[in-house]
Structure formats: C-alpha cells, structure tokens
Amino acid sequence: MPSDGFRADLSQAFRARIPILYVESYEEHRALAEIAAVARDPELVRTPRALLTWSPTSGLIQPDGTARRGAIDPEDAIVAALRTEEPSVFVFCDLHATLGPAVVRLLRDVAAAFRAGPVPRTLVILAPALHIPHDLERDVSILDFPLPAETDIRALLDRMIDDNVATGRITVTLTSGDRERFAKAALGLTLHEAENAFARAMVDDQVLAPADLAVVHEEKRQAVRKSGLLEFVEPHAGLADVGGLENLKRWLVRRDGTWLDEAAAWGLPAPRGVLITGVPGCGKSLTAKAVSAGWGLPLLRLDMGRVFSGLVGSSEQNMRTAIRAAEATSPCVLWVDEIEKGLAASSGSGDNTGTGARVFGTFLTWLQEKTRPVFVIATANDIDRLPAELLRKGRFDEIFFVDLPTGPERTAIWTVHLSRRLSHPAVAGRLDLSPDLLFELTKLTAGYSGAEIEQGVVAALYDAFAERRPLQRDDLVRAVSNTVPLSVTQAERIAAIRAWASTRAVAATAPEDWDLGAGNGRAVEF
Ligand SMILES: Nc1ncnc2c1ncn2[C@@H]1O[C@H](COP(=O)(O)OP(=O)(O)OP(=O)(O)O)[C@@H](O)[C@H]1O
Ligand SMILES: [Mg+2]
C-alpha cells in the first residue's frame, strides 16, 4: 500500500532527525492525517510527538485545538517552534507562498537547531506545489506523498454507497467485482476527485450501475488532462498493424503480463522499458501505441516538451507530478515520445541553474528504481542529443533501432495498409492484393519509410475517389513514383543515424526479414 511507504519514509525521516521535510500534495487533509498518525505512533517513532499545524489563515494551532497567541505571521510561528522544548512536529501548510528572506533565514536556524537539539523536533512544509529557495535546498528533504491506494478508494466508494443507500437516495446494482473495477478506474485521482467522480456517477439517474464506469473514466481523463503533462491516448492499432519490426514485436510480446503477480512468483523483475530510436516515419510511435492495445493496458503519453516549457509549473515539479500520476495509474504503459525534446531544453542555453539536468536525473533514477508496473516506451529521433547516461546498461531493458523497412517488411506494410482499405468493395473493385502486386509495390518503394508507403496509399485513394471509381494498380504506382523519399533527400542524416545505431542498439528488424544480396538493400534494389 503506497501510504505504508509514506509512513515508513516519514518515520525514518523523523528518527533520523531530518530537521525540515517538504511534502508536496494537494490533499492537505489526508496528508495531515498520515503525518499525525506517524507522529503519535510509538511503534513508528521512538518518542511520540505533539502535532502543531500552521496556516496563513489560522496561525499556529496547538494539539488542544487552540491557537498559539502571537503566532499568526510565519516568522512568529517559526520562532514559537524554535522555542518549543517538547518533542513536536510542526506542519506549516502553504508556507511556500510566504518564503521571503526573513522566513528563509529562520528556517535555516530551524535546520541547525532541530538537527542538533536534544529534543526531537521536525518542521514539515506541506504544500500543493514544490518551491524550495536555492539557499534552503541542502536543509530540506522532499518526501513523496502518494495518491490514494486502491484500498483507500475502495473504502471511500463503499462508504459513499452505504450512506446513500441507507438514506434511500440511490439504487446500486454493482457486484463486488464491479466495485473493484470502479476503484481501479479511479486510481490516479486524489480522494477528493474520486469522491466527485463517484458522486457524479450516482446523481445522474439515482442509480449506480456498471455502465457508470464511463463517468469515472471521464473524470480521470479530465484530471490527467488538467495536469497538462500526461494525456490518455486511445490506441487504435494493435501489434498486427505494425508491418515488419518482428524482432522488436517478439521482444514486446514476450513481456506481456510481466506486471502480474504471477510473474513476480517466477522471480521476474518488472520490465523497466524500452527505448526505440531510428529513421523518421518507420513505426516508432506506432509501435508504442500498439503495445498498449496488445497488452490491454492504458496508454499515457508524457510530453517532455511541456515538462520543460515553463507553461505549467516548474519543470522539477512537473516531472514528479507526471511520475506520480503514471504510478497511480499502473499497470500502464508510459509513452515518452521524442524524449530528446526534453533533453534539448535541459542542456539548452539560458538554463544555468542545472534544473534541466536535475529533472532529467529524476526521470532516470525513477526509471532505474521504480517498483510500480509502469512500462516505459521512449522514442527518440535525434540520437545525437541523447546523453550517455540514458544509454547506459540498466536504464532501459533494451534499445532498439528501427531502420527503413527491408523488402519483406515493406511487403508487410503494404499489406497492412492496403488490406484494410481494400476490404471495402467500392474501393477494391477488381483490384486484388496478389503476390505479384505486392512484389511490384515492394520493389518500387525501396528506400521508402512506412509513413511514405501509407501516404502513397492515401494519395492513390484520392485519385480514385476524385473519379468515383475503384482503386487501380496504376494509382498506387503513380503515387509512389511521384514521391521522393526522405532516404534520398536526407541520405546523409540517415547514414549517420545508422552508423550510430549499428554499435549501440539492437535491430528491430528480425534476421529473417533482412534484405539479402544488395548490401542492406534499401535505397538500392529489392
Ligand atoms: N512499420 C510500419 N507498419 C505500418 N505502418 C507504418 C509503419 N511505419 C510507419 N507506418 C505508418 O506511418 C505512420 C507514422 O509512423 P510513426 O508515427 O510510427 O513514425 P515514427 O517512427 O514515430 O516517426 P517520427 O520519427 O517522425 O516520429 C504510422 O501511423 C503508420 O500509419
Ligand atoms: Mg514518432
């Protein structure tokens, strides 16, 4: 249970006499309850401590519920804390908003006094946003407050149902299994958001039925979207829609189900994830999407550009928020598309505070140490920008290289894109997806990417549609002959990508699909 993790971390911090802790959470109420529980539990802390809370509106509130006189301003409240001689925990809510020079100075005094003093005292800053002035960084430890666990959400749901059924306000037709699904669907929400979601599901028709699950899903979608960093993506394609890349697909298929308890019993560590790099338009993003559909897991896309954009929150906080939301949604696939975009910002000029490197470090450390089943699929185009530490063994489980499709792979891609469209009789007419046609198209498109092949199919369809007639072989041939593939216009860049990958990454193409005879085949002859 995640809150057990928090309790363990907190009691360790208390016992280690860390003077100032920073707990970042929107859920002030729940976090306060957890902090109080730890502070008072003799099993968790050797000496139980009194809990005092401060907020800008109420001042310093003592354990008996009364306000300490003369301790409304943050400076006065901190001085009061410094003068307290009993074992105590001072929780300062929203202190981050008032961190002026005087407060920072006082906090440094607190750090020195609480670290050395004979009586255990801790100051906890509890705030919805992480904001630590540079001068205080060394004195403050950050503690993660996880989103509610499934058991917490399930307890909330059961209580809401009991309350509303008792008063006759609603009818409930959920089995215990349905309740579990509701609780799981609300993972990743704060308790307050989950309560809103369940309430909405109940009030629309005074019935709580399995179909109301959609309301919870929608609420979660909104909550995730509000963060502006993560986005739920609806995968429309499965692995069967990815032509070629058999080596990569096999690797992925073999990891299906590794997040289940069953796999842990085999002693398998949860897979960390995979980095897919390669030539543009050859199926990197497509594969990332297809995996989640194949595994039946939700797909979350992390926008690295936004993490660093400064449009929402500080980049450090953004990264932590995103990681936490992904963990709360686990098991899931976290797709970090174009990871180098974040890197560009992290090493870019104008950033001389080291924030970028730190944020990226947070991601890498998490990648290595995460225990929750979040399968990371990162894709990258601009490999020159990838730092060595990202590529070190143990970060990702594997690094795959997606090259321009080989002959057999192009046949597979043509098949994927044509068979879907030709299933419509008005489009297909007498055109048959024969081996001869596929062979011809495959030969014509040496050096074309999957995206270019797809564009060829679409362009041919436009021609046929303009004349309201079935698609013909000539439409396809004309469409691809009229395009100059990227492998020609950007030959140098692609050669550089290949040279880089040949020593560092595993080919996504399976050996049996390699082009034989013509060197690497592409751009030359099929
Ligand atoms: N191997 C493939 N099989 C089937 N379709 C493909 C394949 N590769 C590319 N496509 C088609 O091209 C489109 C674009 O591919 P995708 O977005 O996966 O490329 P990418 O490698 O992520 O490129 P970029 O580097 O530009 O992001 C896909 O949506 C798909 O329709
Ligand atoms: Mg892509």
Ligand 1 nearest atom to the CA of residue 338, by list position: 27
Structure token pair of residue 394 = 């143990």
Residues 302 and 199 in one domain: no
Beta strand pairing call for 88-93 and 398-402: unpaired
244 and 211 share one domain? no
Mean pLDDT in residue range 423-434: 90
The whole-number average pLDDT for the span 266-283 is 90
| CATH number for the domain that contains residue 445 | 1.10.8.60
Residue 281 has pLDDT above 70, yes or no: yes
Same domain, 258 and 330: yes
The verdict on 442 and 371 lying in the same domain is: no
Q: Which of 341, 454, 483, 486 to mutate to test the pocket of ligand 1 (most atoms within 8 A of CB)?
A: 454
Cβ atoms of residues 281 and 450 within 8 Å: yes
* Share in percent of the chain as helix, strand, coil (round to 5): 50, 15, 35
pLDDT number for residue 346: 52
Site of tokens 């089943």: 373
Could you tell me if residue 382 is inside a domain?
yes
Share of the chain above pLDDT 70, in %: 94
> CATH number, domain at 310?
3.40.50.300
* pLDDT tens-digit readout, 187-234: 888 899 999 999 999 988 889 999 998 888 888 878 777 777 898 888
250 and 220 in a common domain: no
Closest CA to 32 of 60, 53, 8: 53
**Closest ligand 1 atom to Cα of 245:** 1
Domain shared by 281 and 413, yes or no: no
For residue 378, being part of any structural domain is answered with yes
Strand ranges (DSSP E) for 398-479?
398-402
Confidence band for 63, pLDDT divided at 50, 70 and 90: very high
Query: 121 vs 313, which has greater pLDDT?
Result: 121
Q: Nearest to residue 156, comparing CAs of 190, 194, 184, 197?
A: 194
Average pLDDT over residues 411-427: 94
397 and 413: one domain?
Answer: no
Q: How many domains does the chain have?
A: 4
Tell me, using a 6 A CB cutoff, whether residue 450 lines ligand 1: yes
Per-residue pLDDT, 127: 93
Q: What span, in angstroms and rounded, lies between the C-alpha atoms of 189 and 311?
A: 22
Q: Are residues 104 and 175 in the same domain?
A: no
Q: Is residue 65 part of a domain?
A: yes
Strands 50-55 and 59-61 turn out to be antiparallel
| pLDDT category of residue 430 using cuts at 50, 70 and 90 | confident
Q: Rounded to the nearest whole angstrom, what is the distance from the C-alpha of residue 337 to the centroid of ligand 2?
A: 7
Average pLDDT score over residue span 38-43: 94
pLDDT tens by residue, 467-516? 999 999 999 999 999 999 999 999 999 998 888 888 889 999 999 999 87
Q: Print the domain residue range for 383.
A: 233-402
- Whether 191 and 262 map to the same domain: the answer is no
Weakest-pLDDT range from 30-39, 190-199, 340-349, 497-506: 340-349
The lowest-confidence range among 36-40, 135-139, 144-148, 518-522 is 518-522
According to DSSP H, which parts of 120-253 are helical? 150-166, 176-185, 191-203, 213-226, 246-253
Strand partners, 335: 301, 377
Do the domain assignments include residue 182?
yes
Given this model, what pLDDT does residue 340 score? 82
Residue 282 CB–ligand 1 contact under 6 Å? yes
Condensed to tens digits (0 to 9), the pLDDT of residues 357-382 reads 778 888 888 988 888 889 999 999 87
Asked, for residue 444, whether it belongs to a domain, the answer is yes
pLDDT above 90: percentage of residues in the chain = 56
Answer yes or no: do 415 and 398 share one domain.
no
Ligand nearest to the CA of 409: 1
At a CB cut-off of 8 Å and minimum separation 6, what does 243 contact? 283, 405, 409, 410, 411, 412, 413, 414, 415, 416, 417, 450
Domain boundary among 181, 201, 224: 224
Residue 205 alpha carbon to ligand 1 centre in Å: 44
Give distance in angstroms: CA of 286 to centre of ligand 1. Answer: 5
Distance CA 91, CA 242 (A): 53
Query: In this structure, is residue 493 part of a structural domain?
Result: no
The per-residue pLDDT for 358 is 77
Report which of residues 271 and 313 the model is more confident about.
271
User: Is ligand 1 within 6 A of the CB of residue 283?
Assistant: yes
Cβ proximity of 144 and 159 under 8 Å: no
Q: Please report whether residue 304 resides in a domain.
A: yes
Q: Relative to the CA of 276, which ligand 1 atom is closest?
A: 21
383 assigned to some structural domain: yes
Q: Nearest-CA neighbor of 526 among 407, 411, 417?
A: 407
Residue pair 376/252 in contact (Cβ under 8 Å)? The answer is no
Q: What is the DSSP letter of 97?
A: G
Nearest to 278 by CA among 443, 376, 405, 387: 405
Last-in-domain residue among 198, 224, 250? 224
pLDDT value for 350: 46
The rounded Å distance from CA 285 to ligand 1 centre is: 6
Using the predicted structure, report yes or no on whether residue 53 has a pLDDT greater than 90: yes
Whether 318 has a pLDDT exceeding 90, the answer reads: no
- The identity of residue 287, as a single letter, is T
* C-beta of residue 276 within 8 angstroms of C-beta of residue 379: yes
User: In this predicted structure, which of 81-85, 130-134, 288-292, 334-338 has the lowest mean pLDDT?
Assistant: 130-134
Among 201, 224, 247, which residue terminates a domain?
224
For residues 320 and 266, state if they share a domain: yes
For residues 494-519, one letter each, b for 16 or more C-beta atoms within 10 angstroms of the residue's C-beta and e for the rest, the string is beebbeebeeebebbbbeebebeeee
Does residue 85 surpass a pLDDT of 50? yes
Atom 6, ligand 1: residue with shortest CA distance: 450
Please provide the average confidence, as pLDDT, over all residues in the chain: 88
Residues 305 and 362 placed together within one structural domain of the fold:
yes
Residue owning the nearest CA to atom 11 of ligand 1: 451
> Residue 239: pLDDT above 80?
yes
